[in-house]
Amino acid sequence: MPIPLVATLIASATVALADDAKAPDYQAQVAPVLKKYCAGCHNDEDREGSFSVETYASLQRGAEHGPALLPGDPKGSLMVRVLTGAAKPVMPPKDEPKPSPEEVAILEAWIAAGARGPDGAEPSRLTLMVPKVASRATIRPVVAMDASRDGRWTAVARDDGVTLYEGNGDPVTRGERPGRPIGTYPGKVTAVHFSADGSRLVTASGVAGLGGAAAVWDVASGSLVRSFEGHRDLLYDAELSPDGRLLATCSYDKTIEIRDAESGSLRHTLDGHTGAVYDVAFSPDGRFLASASADGTCKVWRVEDGLRMDTLPQPLKAESCCLFSPDGLSIVAGGADANIRVWRFVSREKPEINPMTTARFAHEGAIVRMAFSPDGSTLVTLAEDRTIKAWRADDYTEIHAWDDQPDVASAVAFAPDGSRIDVGRMDGSLATYAVPRPGSISAPAADPPPAKLAGQVAETVQESREVEPNDAPDRATPITLPARVAGTIAEGKDGAVDVDFFRFSARAGEPWIFEVDAARSRSKLDSFIEVLDARGGRIPRVALQAVRDSYFTFRGKNGTETGDFRVFNWEEMSINDCLYANGEVVKLWLFPRGPDSGFFVYPGQGDRWGYFDTTPLAHALNDPCYIVRPHPPGAKLVPNGLPVFTLNYENDDDARRELGKDSRLHFTAPADGEYLVKLRDVRGLQGPDFGYTLVARAPRPDFHVALAGANPTVGAGSAREFKVSAKRTDGFDGPIRLEFRDVPAGFHVTSPLVIEAEQLDAFGVVYADAVAAAPAADAPPVRVVATAEIDGREVAHDVDPLGAIKLDPAPKLRVAIEPADDGPKPSTSEGGLPEYVVEAGGRITLKLKVERVDLAGPIPFGNEGAGRNLPFGTIVDDLGLNGLLVVEGKDERTFFVTADPIVPEQARPFHLTTAAAGGASSRPVLIRVVRPGARSASVEPSKGD
């Protein structure tokens, strides 16, 4: 350790003072020199060289190698010797400021005179020993404010003073009521908070680089009840617990202190942050404390013993403020990355991960303050972009914005009834605003129209051919829908690029599908189709408001891939979110399975789908992309600082990739009237071999189901997997239910089996009792029927049969899902399956057990697809690169099942499958997903919708 800098300072001077000169005063002359040059490294906290100059007592304790000074002998004092070079290392360190000869002379004279300490108690270490410089500023910024819950008082902090006002709202903010100052402070006041009953006011203050000071004041009299000094730097917040018994403070020194509010005794020092701590907040029950820090994290602490319950690491920059929701179920934070983040608070009994439920891009500048309305229905945020915004707290949707503030709003307080807010600004001004109720927002989501069954009577289709010239809206060829029209994108007049227009009539809300048959019939046409209004203007289809910005990382994407979509800040995205990139809209289907992977997008297999009839495109590395929310055209959108993209009725290549390069466009007429179909080559090419057929038809929503894995051989006491896949047509995305009939005795089939809404596949198993007998040779095949509801009517289709089931009396491998030692214990479902409950947003631990018969080696159960038939959004989690694997020589392992917060309440049979030993599966267990805090779901098993 280096020799203390203080010793260095005292040793260099050899100037002798006159014998009759008065010895330097420690407090007035010596301590300022020590604090100026030495205390930064040699203080009671850092104690570099095991030496501190913070107090006279600390100085007397000396350094790690003995006394630092010898009263009466400055030249023999270690401090003098290191300063003069007589001892190593020479101090101060290189590039550090050195005391002047006069200052060193003061220290030497003080030691020579006996190094006498201060008379009486030392003054507060918060005393700033610098020359007084009068301020010329005329503006006193508002840095903090609060209102008592009973509405009787408002406290406003400006610089180093606090003013109390009676009441709140306009009488205060307009200056109609005089205020009275309360208290004096060692430095800048950074926070004010009323106690729960409004009788006390807590203030946070301090001196940068020296320490912090908190105080509790009696509101009625303005007298000081109790003061607290602590920390090594300025305080940023001080808050009483809800019952008033504890005081929590946080500081630039990276620590949090919890004290007894009555005695001032220190209960806990919480030092887990690596940056300044800007805010603390008690939970409503007072058992937990949340903190926000410059290190880009929030942390959750248990107040009783100071145990850290979780670190919330998702913020991208410093977090400046944090809150518990008034119901105590969530933690909300904001900061320099301009996002509101919300975590569901679950780490109550033990340290565990609190899942993030919302990340909302909120402002174009750093968020500096936030506050909940007393009833918890509204959140208000203040930001450096000079805006104030109100958010509906149940989903954190913006409901109002107060833009263009005259300066940054830096403080906010709600009225007791939540109807208005008082805000303070950096220009010193105050204002009051009425807060709209959460239910007053507009901008509904743009949901796709429900699938409608076509009429039972066959419609007459108009067969015709284009009539040239039809290359302009006023020369469009008239057609009557439904229609089938042949044409050619031939050379236009005077060599102009040819386009073909067709005019048709439609009634408001009528859905039509326009399809082009060109490339499939070996035409050279690469079609592009649009539906326009009667004058040829584009018709908006949907407004996509960006709610999160991102960009492609690691590598770009081609126009077909569904997997490995790596995008920046993916942790704040969710499955079923729409991702917009350069005109293409895709939908997120499966989360990345770790840092070296990316999203899968719909449909999760084959070529990817576009949404809103957008065509999948290639995207380069670092290309921007956005999470967007769809809204109807013309909807009133509250600006959030991110772009809004308008998509029109147009298509290049069929978004579902069923027609190849040919176009397919879904159109719903916004009003009664005439419309135009415009058809061209997307490249601007033309010629006699650029023929096409344009089909305009009504949607016929339907489905077809195929089965893979027929005629299975099933081991006694074991199971064998099969798969059902749906082909959906014309907008039908609902659940499909499969039933299995004529299953032989001793055998069972996952039934009913459901292909969930929007999904293409489901997995089931045929499983045999341990004592099952082989089915008779003449046993009927197992029949399969698929049913779904379309437009309020049940539609049923036969599926290829599961066929004949055979028995393997001696399988080499049996697989089972069992309860883990530290996991939930199952109940028995109505169907006799073991049932495990998992909360949406939570996870459970289960055990995989195998029974080997002459089977060695590892047994793999897959990677991202390991959880067979789990509810969409529920996965087998934390698999690593090897996936779910029972290693060689082992017969069991634990695994985790995690349900995303969006998963609805449902119950669904789930199993595991391996390709080892020719293929084996476990008997299914029932996974029941419930909402957080619920114990059961009031849904029928296996509905899945």
Q: What is the pLDDT of residues 457-466, one digit of tens each?
A: 457 899 999 9
Instruction: Say how far apart CA 150 and CA 146 lie, in whole Å.
Output: 12
Asked if the domains 462-539+662-697 and 702-808 are classified in one and the same CATH topology, the answer is no
Q: What is the pLDDT of residues 334-353, one digit of tens each?
A: 999 999 999 999 999 999 99
For residues 745 and 76, the model is more confident at 745
What local confidence, expressed as pLDDT, does residue 35 receive?
80
What local confidence, expressed as pLDDT, does residue 782 receive?
96
What local confidence, expressed as pLDDT, does residue 519 receive?
97
Q: Taking 90 as the threshold, does the pLDDT of residue 41 lie above it?
A: no
Task: Tell me which of 12-21, 450-459, 544-553 is least confident.
Answer: 12-21
CATH 2.70.98.10 fits 813-930, yes or no: no
Asked if residues 761 and 724 have their Cβ atoms less than 8 Å apart, the reply is yes
pLDDT-based confidence at residue 313 (cuts at 50, 70, 90): confident
Residue 51 burial by Cβ neighbours in a 10 Å radius (0-12, 13-18, 19+): buried
What local confidence, expressed as pLDDT, does residue 825 receive?
94
pLDDT-based confidence at residue 12 (cuts at 50, 70, 90): very low
Q: Are strands 578-581 and 673-681 parallel, antiparallel or unpaired?
A: unpaired
What local confidence, expressed as pLDDT, does residue 922 receive?
97
Tell me the whole-structure pTM to 2 decimals.
Answer: 0.81
pLDDT-based confidence at residue 90 (cuts at 50, 70, 90): confident
Instruction: Say how far apart CA 627 and CA 599 lie, in whole Å.
Output: 13
Provide mean pLDDT across the span 648-657. Answer: 97
H or E segment and range at residue 108: helix 101-112
Instruction: Say how far apart CA 635 and CA 445 lie, in whole Å.
Output: 9
Tokens 């046993």 belong to 779
What local confidence, expressed as pLDDT, does residue 57 receive?
85
Could you give phi then psi for residue 774, rounded to 5 degrees? -65, 135
pLDDT-based confidence at residue 20 (cuts at 50, 70, 90): very low
Q: Taking 50 as the threshold, does the pLDDT of residue 8 lie above it?
A: no
Q: Taking 70 as the threshold, does the pLDDT of residue 133 lie above it?
A: yes
What local confidence, expressed as pLDDT, does residue 448 receive?
67
Q: What is the pLDDT of residues 398-452, one digit of tens each?
A: 999 999 899 999 999 999 999 999 999 999 999 999 999 887 554 566 766 676 6
Q: What residues pair up with 391 in beta bridges, in sequence order? A: 379, 398
Q: What residues pair up with 387 in beta bridges, in sequence order? A: 383
Q: Taking 90 as the threshold, does the pLDDT of residue 477 lie above it?
A: yes
Instruction: Say how far apart CA 141 and CA 538 lie, in whole Å.
Output: 51
What local confidence, expressed as pLDDT, does residue 940 receive?
39
Which tokens go with 57? 């007592």
Instruction: Say how far apart CA 445 and CA 260 lie, in whole Å.
Output: 50
Tokens 């709209």 belong to 436
How is the beta sheet containing 511-517 ordered, strand by strand? Answer: 462-465, 483-488, 691-697, 511-517, 664-668
Instruction: Say how far apart CA 698 and CA 424 lie, in whole Å.
Output: 59
Instruction: Say how far apart CA 454 and CA 701 lie, in whole Å.
Output: 8
Residue 826 burial by Cβ neighbours in a 10 Å radius (0-12, 13-18, 19+): middle
- What's 462-539+662-697's CATH class? mainly beta
- Beta-strand runs (E) in 709-842: 713-715, 719-729, 736-741, 747-749, 753-755, 761-768, 782-790, 793-803, 806-808, 813-819, 827-828, 834-839
Provide mean pLDDT across the span 755-761. Answer: 98
∠ at Cα 925 (921, 930), nearest 5°? 140
Which tokens go with 640? 């959030």
H or E segment and range at residue 803: strand 793-803
Q: Taking 70 as the threshold, does the pLDDT of residue 5 lie above it?
A: no
Instruction: Say how far apart CA 74 and CA 396 lie, in whole Å.
Output: 67
Q: Taking 80 as the threshold, does the pLDDT of residue 19 lie above it?
A: no
What local confidence, expressed as pLDDT, does residue 22 receive?
76
Q: Of all residues in the chain, what percent carry a pLDDT higher than 70?
A: 93
Which tokens go with 567? 């995008």
Residue 211: name the closest of 249, 154, 239 by CA. Answer: 249
Q: Taking 90 as the threshold, does the pLDDT of residue 132 lie above it?
A: no
What local confidence, expressed as pLDDT, does residue 443 receive?
57
- Beta-strand runs (E) in 336-454: 339-344, 356-361, 367-372, 378-383, 387-392, 397-402, 409-414, 420-425, 430-434
pLDDT-based confidence at residue 942 (cuts at 50, 70, 90): very low
Provide mean pLDDT across the span 8-23. Answer: 45
Q: What is the pLDDT of residues 215-254, one digit of tens each?
A: 999 999 999 999 999 999 999 999 999 999 999 999 999 9
DSSP annotation of 538? B
Residue 438 burial by Cβ neighbours in a 10 Å radius (0-12, 13-18, 19+): buried
Residue 58: name the closest of 39, 40, 71 by CA. Answer: 39
Q: Which residues contact 283 (CB under 8 A, 6 or more apart)?
A: 289, 290, 324, 328, 345
Q: What is the pLDDT of residues 600-638, one digit of tens each?
A: 999 999 999 999 999 999 999 999 999 999 999 999 888
Task: Tell me which of 47-56, 338-347, 736-745, 751-760 is least confident.
Answer: 47-56
Asked if residues 611 and 578 have their Cβ atoms less than 8 Å apart, the reply is yes
Asked if residues 426 and 410 have their Cβ atoms less than 8 Å apart, the reply is yes
Q: Taking 90 as the threshold, does the pLDDT of residue 73 lie above it?
A: no
Tokens 């492609």 belong to 552
Fold classified for 702-808: Immunoglobulin-like (2.60.40)
Domain ranges of the chain: 5-112, 462-539+662-697, 540-648, 702-808, 813-930
H or E segment and range at residue 343: strand 339-344
Q: What is the pLDDT of residues 223-234, one digit of tens each?
A: 999 999 999 999
Q: Taking 90 as the threshold, does the pLDDT of residue 56 lie above it?
A: no
Asked if the peptide bond before residue 92 counts as cis, ω within 30 degrees of 0, the response is: yes
Question: How many C-alpha atoms does 239 have within 13 Å on its Cβ side?
Answer: 25
| Separation in Å, CA 629 to CA 199, 365, 379, 668 | 46, 22, 21, 20
SS (H, E, C) 47-101: CHHHCCCCCHHHHHCCECCECCCCCCCCCCCHHHHHHHCCCCCCCCCCCCCCCCH
Instruction: Say how far apart CA 867 and CA 855 lie, in whole Å.
Output: 23
Provide mean pLDDT across the span 825-842. Answer: 90
Question: For all residues of the chain together, what is the average pLDDT?
Answer: 90
